Structure 1
Amino acid sequence: MKRTRRIPSIVAAAALTAALAGCSGDGDGLEQVTMAWLPITQTMPLYVALEEGLFEEAGLEVELTKFENPNQIVDSLTAGQVEVGAPGTAAGITMLAEAKFPGTFKFFGLQGGATEPQRINDALVTVEDSPIRSFSDLKGKSVGTLPGIQWETITKHLVREAGLDPERDVEVVPLGVSLHIPSVVNGDVDATLSLEPVGSVADDEPGTRRAQVNPAEQYIADPFYSGASVLTTDFIEERPEVARTVVSVLDRATKMINEDFEGHKAVLAEYAALDERQVKVVAQPQLRGFEDLDETDLRSYQALVDVFREEGVLGKDLDVNDYVLTSEDLEQKQ
């Protein structure tokens, strides 16, 4: 059953544009918003919102900071350098930071993968002739994954679930997004646990393949969400109308993608550095906006947080229901 807590509809949010135009901003009357992002498929709502002019239409001008390391996005939010973590912000790291700095974040969307309907998020990538078919084949091997505690923890958990010891049997190597396929091809690592679009590109390129599709969905939760859309509580409290408009714009873009992924995925060429042929093969992700979130989504996010607890990375129990954005959070303070 879906939550009853709602922000105003997209139509109502659009009506805020005129009011926002009169707020403090730049010379064009646009409200400035700072946002950090990672060049992955999960971040598509941001790309579509930018390309379709949805932010400007809603009276916003977004200043973007691109990162290759998921930790850096959450660090920039915690430090107050940016106000919004775009879709694809590391969901696990967000909760780790919240545990360390209570009251810092609220999330309003989730991104990942699912098996039914198939929405690909993660994959074990190898060279085409590798004997590795799954995590259970990684004994004595090296596996690359995104830098930072989130994917290191997820990778070690998947290794453990496959019956191996992540400390003794497998070497986990941090690699930036752009290094995953080259590192496999060059033999620097035996495999990578990669986020889309890396898996789709590897499956299409000669010499590499997806050895295992959606392993996190198999071993942790289905659907599985490694990405989240995040606001800082300072941003929410200081500019609730602007925060509400950011959420509405990204919800609108999420809906557009879910309704016509093929029609919108060309944006990946610019933002995820793919060529036209690669864009054609990219798999559709599982994208959930604020108005979509339901109990299944929240349980799946909780499963990821529980992995961090089980792996000894998170020092206390956290309930994700305490950190989901509500309509009350976005009300204008009198």
Structure 2
Amino acid sequence: MSKPVLFAACVAAAALANSGAHAACDKMDKVTAAWLPIMQTTAYYVAIEQKLFEKACIELDSNKMESPNQIIDALIAERADFGPPGAAAGIAMIAESKFPGKLRVFGLQGGGVAVGRINDGLIVKPDSPIKAFADLRGKTLGHVPGIQWRTISRHMVRSAGLDPDKDVKLVDLAVAMQVPAVVGGTVDATLSLEPVGSIAVASGKAIRAMTNPVAAVIADPFYSGASVMTTRFLKERPDVAKRVVAVIDEATDLVNADFAKYKAVLPTYTPMKADQLELVAQPYLRGFKDLNDNDIKSYQALVDIFIKEGVMAGPLNVRDKLLTKIDLGN
């Protein structure tokens, strides 16, 4: 068979396969997602690029948000059905404490010292005298906008022996603005989620003074991200919700098995540039099927900090807020 004929045959076969895949769907179920452009969301990016949602007969309405609060607000207001990996784990539980029964968590994302995965870093200029949170007296610290990272930042400052109301000025900074703010001197340091630390190191204009500082203080591993869905979505469209969980779990397995391959999607969805990929840190991703008692214990430690810092009422048992196999009809 000549090359042109062989090529035409391959194209025809691919078209037939694709038409068969779509024909297997009686209909495409529309699902709305709200996400943040950070490393913890990598499995979601891969699910999109690998067309896993389409294969699961899901038409995705994908909405990028600028802050963690916006994701949870969209879920509580039922403008979104789910927050993919990287939705705010702490804010989700603050919302649950105010509106009980609205959300279910079906995955956790973060990093840790023991697992060798970077979640966050204290970012400073290369010549900065700041080596730890104790060095922030009289300084300005930027963080991801919203109550979650404001609370975590306050706790980190307090744990270093400083008063977050008197000794340090805390500033909300959008993810894309954090490295420029450090380099330009708008802030003295940032407590940043990946890929900000990797971008900082790759630029040569900033460094990580500390790697995974939050895991060292709150819990190791530390989970600041979560996969979250509304209970309304779960109750009204359980079959679709089950497919969403399966898609995210499949994508999570792909990323965990071969991050070197799948990190190529990051420049499309995050501030990371293609020439910075070599230095990017792999996130620690836990799918629904993999969650265990240690993960839940770590998540509880974060929630307990929010209660301790007075931003939510307690007690709250995170185990009661997790999606279960029974919820999915398994």
Gaps of 5+ in 1: 1-16, 23-28
User: In structure 2, what is the Cα distance between the partners aligned to 1:167 and 1:159?
Assistant: 10
Letter in 2 for 1:174: D
More helix by share: 2
What is residue 166 of structure 1 aligned with on the other side?
164
List 4+ stretches of structure 1 deviating above 3 A: 17-20
Contact 1:20 1:242 in 2 (8 A): no
Contact 1:20 1:30 in 2 (8 A): no
User: In structure 1, what is the Cα distance between the partners aligned to 2:288 and 2:45?
Assistant: 17
User: In structure 2, what is the Cα distance between the partners aligned to 1:231 and 1:327?
Assistant: 14
What is residue 203 of structure 1 aligned with on the other side?
201
Query: Where do 1:277-316 residues align within 5 Å?
Result: 277-316=275-314
Largest Rg, 1 or 2: 2
Contact 1:42 1:111 in 2 (8 A): yes
What is residue 238 of structure 2 aligned with on the other side?
240
Query: Where do 1:1-334 residues align within 5 Å?
Result: 21-22=25-26, 29-331=27-329
- Which segment is superposed worse, 113-122 or 214-223? 113-122
User: In structure 2, what is the Cα distance between the partners aligned to 1:163 and 1:65?
Assistant: 40
Contact 1:20 1:31 in 2 (8 A): no
User: In structure 1, what is the Cα distance between the partners aligned to 2:125 and 2:110?
Assistant: 24
1:268-322 Cα distance to aligned partner (Å, 9 max, x none): 0100032211122110011000011000000000000000011011122100000
1:62-100 Cα distance to aligned partner (Å, 9 max, x none): 101111111000000000100001100000000000010
The alignment's C-alpha RMSD in Å is 1.4
- The percent identity for this pair of structures is 54
User: In structure 2, what is the Cα distance between the partners aligned to 1:48 and 1:143?
Assistant: 32
User: In structure 2, what is the Cα distance between the partners aligned to 1:140 and 1:285?
Assistant: 32
1:174-205 Cα distance to aligned partner (Å, 9 max, x none): 00001100100111100000000000111121
User: In structure 2, what is the Cα distance between the partners aligned to 1:19 and 1:123?
Assistant: 47
User: In structure 1, what is the Cα distance between the partners aligned to 2:149 and 2:267?
Assistant: 25
Count residues in correspondence. Answer: 310
User: In structure 2, what is the Cα distance between the partners aligned to 1:37 and 1:218?
Assistant: 27
- Alpha-carbon distance, 1:106 to partner: 0.4
> Does the C-alpha gap of structure 1 residues 248 and 126 become closer, same or farther in structure 2, counting only changes over 3 Å?
same
Contact 2:115 2:221 in 1 (8 A): no
Q: TM-score normalised to the size of structure 1?
A: 0.91
1:215-249 Cα distance to aligned partner (Å, 9 max, x none): 11000000000000001000000000000000000
Contact 1:45 1:257 in 2 (8 A): yes
What SS does the corresponding residue of 1:129 show, helix, strand or coil? coil
User: In structure 1, what is the Cα distance between the partners aligned to 2:116 and 2:285?
Assistant: 12
Letter in 2 for 1:266: A
- Alpha-carbon distance, 1:19 to partner: 11
What SS does the corresponding residue of 2:34 show, helix, strand or coil? strand
Contact 2:176 2:271 in 1 (8 A): no
User: In structure 1, what is the Cα distance between the partners aligned to 2:24 and 2:310?
Assistant: 45
- Alpha-carbon distance, 1:21 to partner: 2.5
User: In structure 1, what is the Cα distance between the partners aligned to 2:272 and 2:303?
Assistant: 31
Letter in 2 for 1:50: I
What is residue 8 of structure 1 aligned with on the other side?
none
Contact 1:114 1:224 in 2 (8 A): yes
Contact 1:109 1:289 in 2 (8 A): yes
- Alpha-carbon distance, 1:117 to partner: 2.6
1:4-56 Cα distance to aligned partner (Å, 9 max, x none): xxxxxxxxxxxxx999833xxxxxx2111000000000000100000011111
Q: TM-score normalised to the size of structure 2?
A: 0.92
What SS does the corresponding residue of 2:290 show, helix, strand or coil? coil
> Does the C-alpha gap of structure 1 residues 188 and 32 become closer, same or farther in structure 2, counting only changes over 3 Å?
same
Letter in 2 for 1:69: S
What SS does the corresponding residue of 2:209 show, helix, strand or coil? strand
Gaps of 5+ in 2: 1-20
User: In structure 1, what is the Cα distance between the partners aligned to 2:168 and 2:274?
Assistant: 36
